[in-house]
Amino acid sequence: MPGFLPFYPMAGYQEVYDLNYQSFVPNHSDVNINFDVKVSSMKQFYSNLNENDKNHFSGNSKSLTLISGLYKTITIEDIRVVYPYPDVKELSKNNIEKYTREKNYGNVSFVKTKDDIEKLGLNTFFFSDASSAIKRDVFEKLNYYDGKRFASNEDQYIAHKLIMNDYRIKYCAESQVFHSHDFNFKSLYKRYQDTGEFYRAEPYMNTYGTNNAGAGMAKYILKRIIEDKNWKVAVEYIPNMTARFLGMKLKKFK
């Protein structure tokens, strides 16, 4: 359970869910709270608090986070890092997403600047939050996300701010993260509705060629399906692309 979600007693009225953006609203205390928490479970739990005994945590913090499941730990310079380890079956799924990852995450590292906008268009601002980092002082200087709430594309929003303020973005091909999507057509349609809403709310982004970026991805996926003779994925291609197109366009021009 994440610390921003009030799954434990918190004083006062707390807004938990934003129906407009279909996302949880972060909740944190303004001051440190003295926690002493015991979890009754045979499974191993982890927390942002100090662990006294197995599943017994205590300490001062503005929120409480508890996690359990497919996690491992490593200690680096007295800092305990808790990280998820993947389900190999999810990573090896034969679906359209594997071609999407192939297109977005190449094997060569490179640096993007404002000078690349003419050549790369919208892809200049591709900056995946699945594995990314920004210097804190830069993030603060740029005023974070300007107080806006995004259901999608928040990474593209901050990438645009970075590039337009003459910062550089480096894509590190050596960086690895386990991350996957397993959308059905309904959830894919909703995801691209959120994307369309982003471009409607931030219309300046459309000047960088949103249509060209989407068409380029669709052509690449089709080319790779044919090269691999991947007929299983070929069956999914038209309904998958239709869900993306309709979800984004209907919301974008609403």
In tens, the pLDDT along 220-229 reads 999 999 999 9
pLDDT average, residue stretch 121-138: 90
Residue 206 clears pLDDT 70, i.e. is over it: yes
**String of DSSP letters for the chain:** --TTS--S--SS----EETTTTEEPP---SS-EEEEEE---SS-EEESSEEEETTEEEEEESS--EEESSEEEEEETTEEEEEE---HHHHT--SHHHHHHHHHS-SS-EEE-GGGHHHHGGGGG---TTS----HHHHHHTTTTTT---SS-HHHHHHHHHHHTT--EEE-TT----------HHHHHHHHHHHHHHHHHSGGGGGGTHHHHHHHHHHHHHHHHHHHT-HHHHHHHHHHHHHHHHHHHHHHT-
Higher pLDDT, 212 or 107: 107
Dist. CA 200–CA 150, nearest whole Å: 12
Residue 6: its pLDDT value, please? 77
pLDDT-above-70 percentage for the chain = 93
Residue 214 exposure: Cα atoms within 13 Å on the Cβ side:
18
Residue 55: its pLDDT value, please? 93
Inter-residue contact 160 to 134 (CB < 8 Å): no
Inter-residue contact 217 to 248 (CB < 8 Å): no
The structure tokens 């999407």 sit at 100
Residue 87: its pLDDT value, please? 63
Inter-residue contact 44 to 72 (CB < 8 Å): no
Residue 59 clears pLDDT 90, i.e. is over it: yes
**Most confident listed range (81-85, 142-146, 176-180):** 142-146
Q: Which residues lie across from 110 on neighbouring strands?
A: 171
Residue 180: its pLDDT value, please? 62
pLDDT-above-90 percentage for the chain = 45
Residue 251: its pLDDT value, please? 67
Closest CA to 26 of 36, 13, 39, 17: 17
pTM of the model: 0.65
Residue 81: its pLDDT value, please? 85
pLDDT average, residue stretch 60-71: 88
Residue 208: its pLDDT value, please? 92
Closest CA to 249 of 192, 208, 207, 175: 192
* Mean pLDDT taken over the chain: 87
Inter-residue contact 55 to 39 (CB < 8 Å): yes
Torsion on CA atoms 149, 124, 176, 183, rounded to nearest 10: 50
pLDDT average, residue stretch 38-61: 91
Residue 169: its pLDDT value, please? 95
Name every residue whose Cβ is closer than 8 Å to that of residue 164 and which is 6 or more positions away in sequence. 114
- Asked which of 71-80, 121-130, 229-238 is least confident by mean pLDDT, the reply is 71-80
Q: How confident is the model at residue 92 (pLDDT cuts 50, 70, 90)?
A: low
Residue 165 clears pLDDT 70, i.e. is over it: yes
pLDDT average, residue stretch 131-150: 90
